Amino acid sequence: ARQVPSPNCDERPADCYIGLIVIHNISLPPGNYGGPEIEQLFTNCLDPAAHPYFAEIAHLKVSSHLLIRRDGELIQYVPFSKRAWHAGDSCFDGRQACNDFSVGIELEGQDTEAYTDRQYEQLAAVMQALVATYPGLSLQRVAGHSDISPGRKTDPGPAFDWQSLQARLGGGVA
């Protein structure tokens, strides 16, 4: 992965283990792909005057561990050992504050537009590597942002093909 350090992270709580993968989507401006704006947002360099939507979000301090671009490029913003600021107010399996114990993976996209085969291939490879590395993680501990923040978030959206991901992983995703 290409490394682009984000300042929007901190230490995980001492007693936390990585036990969840959260799948998100992002495009900046909405519906546009391939530009530098996601990187600018995650590194606090987004110009609020560059687009009307940016004025609403440029002040946010957010990040994810990884971004998978439409062409499959993998960018890492936060080391897995640190807490990325991707989930916000969230709950999974009765545990609050999912940022504490999750890895956040952004897919360049939007809720209603199909993701690319390259993105699914890269996501499956990353998930398999994470499960092989972190003993508290399994392919049954994967959720969309909408699953852990219902009513507040909608991503990865109805265009995300959970069956395609399962097929690439040989089944296993809950």
Question: Is residue 171 predicted with pLDDT exceeding 90?
Answer: no
Question: Is residue 163 predicted with pLDDT exceeding 80?
Answer: yes
Q: Which of 115, 103, 105 is nearest to 157 (CA)?
A: 115
Residue 135 exposed, middle or buried by CB count within 10 Å (0-12, 13-18, 19+): exposed
Q: How far apart are CA 69 and CA 27, in angstroms?
A: 10
How confident is the model over 119-148, as pLDDT tens digits?
999 999 999 999 999 998 999 999 999 999
Instruction: Please report where in the chains the tokens 């959260």 appear, as a residue.
Output: 22
How confident is the model over 52-77, as pLDDT tens digits?
999 999 999 999 999 999 999 999 99
Say what the alpha-carbon torsion angle 54, 59, 60, 61 is, to the nearest 10 degrees.
130
Q: Is 166 helix (H, G, I), strand (E, B) or coil?
A: helix
Question: Is residue 174 predicted with pLDDT exceeding 80?
Answer: no
**What end-to-end distance do the CA atoms of the chain give, in Å?**
26
> What mean pLDDT, rounded, does the chain reach?
96
Task: Specify the pLDDT at position 98.
Answer: 98
Task: Specify the pLDDT at position 172.
Answer: 66
29 upstream amide cis, omega within 30 of 0:
yes
Instruction: Give the pLDDT band (50/70/90) at residue 170.
Output: confident
By annotation, the residues acting in catalysis are 106
Task: Specify the pLDDT at position 39.
Answer: 98
Task: Specify the pLDDT at position 164.
Answer: 94
Instruction: Please report where in the chains the tokens 């003993």 appear, as a residue.
Output: 135
